[in-house]
Every structure is written in C-alpha cells, then in structure tokens.
Amino acid sequence: MFSRYCRQNLPLLIFKSPKTPLFQQSPRTTTLLTFRNMSDPTAPTTKKRDGGKKEPRPKNKRKKADDHIKRNHTWQLDENRKVVHPGSYANPAFCQLFNVTLPCYSNDDSSQQPATSKKKVAFLLGYLGTAYSGFQINEGQRTLQAEFELALYKCRLLDPRNFGFPHKYGWSISGRTDKGVHACAQVCSAKIELLPEQTLEQVLHALNAVLPNDFRVLDIVRATRNFCAHTQRDQVRYQYMIPSLVFSPQMKPLLQQMMAHKEPRPPNNPLTRDEIAQLQEALQSYRLTPVQLNLLKECLASYEGTHSFHNFTKGVPPTEARATRYILSFTADEPVLHNGVEWIPTQVLGQSFLLHQIRKMVSMAMQVTRGASSLDTLRQALTKDCRVKVDVAPAQGLYLDVSYYTGYNRRKQENPDLDDMDWTRSEEPAYQRWKDFKDNVVMKHVIEEEAKEGNFLKYLFLQEYYTELSKDPEESDGGAEDK
C-alpha cells in the first residue's frame, strides 16, 4: 500500500488514534505534524512555531558524569578503583604515616567463622572535628571516614577483601563536614557483615570500644537495600555558636593597643597566649544588646529563601546552577551563659550547603552586627551580578545538629520491620544519646576550645589588620561541597 502511494505521487495520509496527539510539545518548541509529499523527498516534515529555533543538543549525561568524576574524585575512575584508596588504612603507606598496626584477618580465618549475612544499615555518628582534616577520606590526611572504616574492619563488620574499597560495601554519607567542624548527627550507610545472633546494639558497643574517644556511634538502624544517606536526606540543620564578646565596642580599641606594641605579627597566629587571656578578661562580661540581637536576627533572616551563594563559597561562579541554594530558616536564639561567657546559638535549616557557606554567612552577619559592613551589602551579595569578598568564620563554632529523612520514612512504610530514621523523638534512647553528646561533649568542647585558643579573637584581629595578608583558611580546609 505504501509503494502504491509512492507510485501515484500522492501524499501519504496517516490516521492517528485518539490517544496519539497531533502536536508534540517541548519546553521551547511546538511541532506541528504534517504529511510528506512523496514526490518531493526534500519537503520539510515539521513546522516550528518559535521562529525556526532549534532545541540545543543535550550534553551526553555519561560524559558529563565522567567529567565530574575526573574533576573531583579521581580515585573513583575504574582504573583506580582496582587498588585500595590511598587515604584508607588498608594502604600500608597510610598506616605507616600514622603509626597504625592492623589486625591480620586471612581468608582461612573467615572460613572458620560462622556464616555472616550482609545487611544495609545507617549509622548515626557524633564526633569532634578538631583533630581531623574533615570527614571525607583523603590521601595523606587523618580523616573521620578512615577512622570509622578502620573500626568496621577491626570489628570484622567488613569483608577483608573490601577493606579500602568504600564502593564495595555501599558507603555513603549524608554530608561532608569541613576541617575542624563537629557533628552530633552525621549519618552514613554501609553494608556490614553480621553474625546470625549479632544485634545492632552489640555492634554499637563494639564500634565505640575501638573508636577514638572523640568519635562515637550514637545509633544504628536497619535500612532498605537501596538506601543512600546522601541522596535521601531531605533537610539538615547546623548550629553555630557565636560569643557575644565579638560584638563589644571595646574590641577595636583593645586590638589597636596590642597592635602598637608588637609588629609585625605572624598572620596565622597573631595573638600570644597572654594577649588572648587579657582580651578575654576584659571582654567576657560583655552582654549583647537587644538592638544588636535584632540586627543579627535580621541579617540571618536575609539568607532565607532561594539565593545565589557564589559569594559564600569557593570556586563556584554565579552562572552555575549549584550556586543557587534554598535556605528554609536561619534564626538566632536567646543568649545563654557558659562559664561566665555569653553565647548566641544560631540555627540554619536547609537542603544542602556549599563549601564554607555557613561559616561565610555567619561571618557576614557578624560584620554587619559589629558595624563593619551594612545590611544592604549583605543583601547585594546574594545577587548574581555582585562579587564581594567574604571571610570565613572560625570552624570551632559550627557543628552538624540534625539530619532529616522524612521522605524515606514515609516511603518505607511498606516495610514495618524497619525503624524510622527520626532522631528527634525524645522518648527514644537514641535521642538521649544524641542530646548527651551535644550538651556534654560538643558544647563543652566549643567553650573550652575558645577559652584556650581564642579563635574568635584571632579571627577579629585578622579582620581589622591582616585581611589582605592572612592565609586564606580555605587553602588548608579538608572540606568539600554539598554538606
């Protein structure tokens, strides 16, 4: 029949069912289906209603993913994943660097053990980041991920053949914290080897027995096979503690007096221990005024909503989509007293954050509240056509507070045997462990570290005198984007 129409030089009529649309729509064009005149093979088959503009050819998704891997995760390339990760204790050179001796588990030992079953679980972790170069595993640096993998290996929760290959045991983390940043609710997931009678409570105690004292497992929950701690996290809340003394009007005159006595000063450690003690004694009685607190709250509220945060991270131009982030809330609570020093707790809730984004947002808000910048400058920095240099606030006041998995809890209702990943319910034992670690470990450490090191005083000194000469803290941080 088709050949007969061709021989007769007649148009071919195509009858469509009611379910077949006569128009095909795309975001940019509307195409009208027409009939080809078989006598003219060169006749166009479509007419475009947008002036003839063609849809841009989409970039190959596989090539785009490969480019991202080459740029950010070189080890994840196929040819490199055949060897252990250089930042894992499975690497002999890494063990020698940090003087770590591994227990020897051979395949013969494994064959003598009872048969194990592989289960997907989620870990709720709490840690102090002071002694580590961030969470993510990294060559030549002591990281929290490497310490946790070593603990899994020591407890025989990993197959020895998978030690040093995170992708082989389905490793994922909810977000990567920077160097020096603490956490009360870091969530990671992995497939672990469990004995027939072994409970998750026993696993929790076994891991805490071999982990460092500044690293604790707060809870372990069975998860679905396809659970990913990173992609299935809906929201995350960070808390940043600001000492009120940074807003004291006496701060600048005191710094000027010290600057007159000693020059030049090393930009990475500008204040001596005696000078820090002198400043703390003079400023620790300062209390934030209601006007300053309201201005701080107004600054933090300006970050809420969808904005371009290219000025609040590193190496991300405003034209890239990842520069745009959505902040659900950013609030400042009423000041609290700890050891005679007033602190302002601030909480930011969002979907994900860029490298140093929170610390730069806090830094800008502190500068406005101190009178060193203006609220208009802060708001202008959130627009794509503005470039502003924003310094990084100290990492010592920041910690990951809560991770939320609301969507996962709703979707997994089909499997009632699995517990919810909700650590905000006060009646659960995991909530009490989380609260104890937050109040008695993290908060205590933040206060003691500031009293000993004076990190906020050093930060303000650099703001006043060494901004152009000080070493950029981004160069030494072991963080990564997307917390």
**Model confidence pLDDT, tens digit, residues 389-422:** 999 999 999 999 999 999 999 988 778 789 899 9
Average pLDDT for 218-246: 95
Identify the weakest region by mean pLDDT among 10-19, 78-87, 152-161, 175-184: 10-19
157 vs 16 pLDDT, higher one = 157
Give the CATH number, domain containing residue 172.
3.30.70.580
Mean pLDDT on 7-28: 44
Residue 46: per-residue pLDDT: 45
| pLDDT (mean) for 202-206 | 97
What does the pLDDT read at residue 105?
76
State pLDDT tens for residues 44-82.
444 444 444 445 554 554 444 445 444 445 545 555 567
Q: 471 pLDDT exceeds 60?
A: no
The least confident of 78-82, 219-223, 266-270, 415-419 is: 78-82
Does residue 334 form part of some domain?
yes
Instruction: State the Cα angle at 242 between 237 and 247, rounded to 5°.
Output: 145
Please give the pLDDT value at position 28.
41
Residue among 140, 228, 143, 142 nearest 177 (CA):
143
Higher pLDDT, 83 or 305: 305
CATH number of the domain where residue 258 is located: 3.30.70.660
The confidence score (pLDDT) of residue 79 equals 57
**Domain closes at, from 208, 233, 258:** 233
- The pLDDT of residue 436: 96
Catalytic residue among 50, 67, 178, 420: 178
Domain that holds residue 394: 236-404+424-475
Domain shared by 126 and 207, yes or no: yes
E strand segments, 110-166: 117-127
Indicate the pTM of the whole model. 0.79
Same domain, 258 and 188: no
Together in a domain, 157 and 287: no
Q: Same domain for 254 and 198?
A: no
100 in Cβ contact with 149 (< 8 Å): no
- Given this model, what pLDDT does residue 270 score? 85
Task: Let me know if 108 is a catalytic residue.
Answer: no
Q: Which residue has the higher pLDDT, 22 or 295?
A: 295
- Predicted confidence at residue 246, as pLDDT, reads 94
Instruction: Give the pLDDT mean for 225-253.
Output: 94
Average pLDDT in the chain: 83
Handedness of CA 20, 23, 26, 31 (dihedral sign): positive
Percentage of the chain beyond pLDDT 90 is: 66
Q: Which of 233, 262, 292 is the last residue of a domain?
A: 233
Q: Is residue 72 part of a domain?
A: no
Stated as kind and residue range, the H or E segment containing 100 is: none
The reply to whether 459 sits in an annotated binding site is no
Same domain as 383, residue 254: yes
Q: Is residue 442 located within the same domain as residue 359? A: yes
Cis peptide, bond prior to residue 21, ω within 30 of zero: no
Closest of 145, 178, 127, 172 to residue 358, by C-alpha: 178
φ/ψ of 218, rounded to 5, equals: -95, -25
Q: Quick check: 466 pLDDT over 90?
A: no
Diameter over CA atoms, the chain: 102
Per-residue confidence (pLDDT) for residue 104, from 0 to 100: 83
The band of 262, judged by pLDDT with boundaries at 50, 70 and 90, is low
Mean pLDDT for the stretch of residues 25-40: 42
- Residue 92 counted as domain residue: yes
Residue 444: band (very low, low, confident or very high) from pLDDT cuts 50, 70, 90: very high
At 306-328, the pLDDT tens digits run 999 999 999 999 999 999 999 99
Asked if residue 304 and residue 276 are part of one domain, the reply reads yes
Q: Are residues 157 and 193 in contact, defined by beta-carbon separation less than 8 angstroms?
A: yes
Q: Do residue 92 and residue 221 come from a single domain?
A: yes
Q: Kindly state whether residues 437 and 469 are assigned to the same domain.
A: yes
What is the helix (H) or strand (E) element at residue 18, kind and residue range?
Answer: none
Highest mean pLDDT among 1-10, 261-270, 439-448: 439-448
- Number of compact structural domains in the chain: 2
pLDDT of the residue at 133: 94
Q: Is the pLDDT of residue 125 over 90?
A: yes
pLDDT recorded at residue 302: 97
Residue 53 falls within a domain, yes or no? no
Return the pLDDT at 235: 95
Whether residue 165 is found in the same domain as residue 295: no
Please give the full DSSP string across 170-219, using - where no structure is assigned.
Answer: T-EES----TT-EEEEEEEEEEEEE-TT--HHHHHHHHHHHS-TTEEEEE
pLDDT at 9 over 70: no
